[in-house]
Amino acid sequence: MSAFVLALVAGALTGLALGALGGGGSVLAVPALIYLLGLTPAAAATASLVVVTVTSATALIGHAREGTVRGKHGLLFALAGLGPAAVGGAVSARLPAGVLTGAFAVIAAVAALRMLRPSASAPTEVPARPVRVAAAGAGLGAVTGVLGV
């Protein structure tokens, strides 16, 4: 099978899973890009970020139409994550491929285990404090910059 067809199939499956599950595109895209298409972990993380950005922006439109988007908090979260993501990307380029792949695997495993564990109670609406939103954006931006998750 050609790399182009393989990329289309992997992209379609990732897109279907992302649409059905509402997240996790990078967890599927990064391994597909590394093991199916032969990208380095750093290149796969970068490509995954582009894919997830476009997919998320597309989904944002639908959610905004439904009125389920907290625009101010989302913008604060995104802006707080930009700098750390850029620093994380620079760090990523200097780390060995095995370290990136291993760290990605650990993050994916922890996320999977957390999702399998039943929650103690029904989800509740937590008030979004600007400092917490910015801190979460910065932390996630740094991890995303390094690992592409």
Q: How far is CA 133 from CA 2, 12, 13, 61, 79, in A?
A: 43, 32, 31, 21, 10
User: What is the pLDDT averaged over residues 49-55?
Assistant: 80
Q: Per-residue confidence at 33, pLDDT binned at 50, 70, 90?
A: confident
Q: Which residue has the higher pLDDT, 31 or 26?
A: 31
Q: Per-residue confidence at 126, pLDDT binned at 50, 70, 90?
A: low
Token pair 């990078």 is found at 26
User: What is the pLDDT averaged over residues 40-60?
Assistant: 82
Q: Which region among 23-27, 59-63, 133-137 has the lowest average model confidence (pLDDT)?
A: 23-27
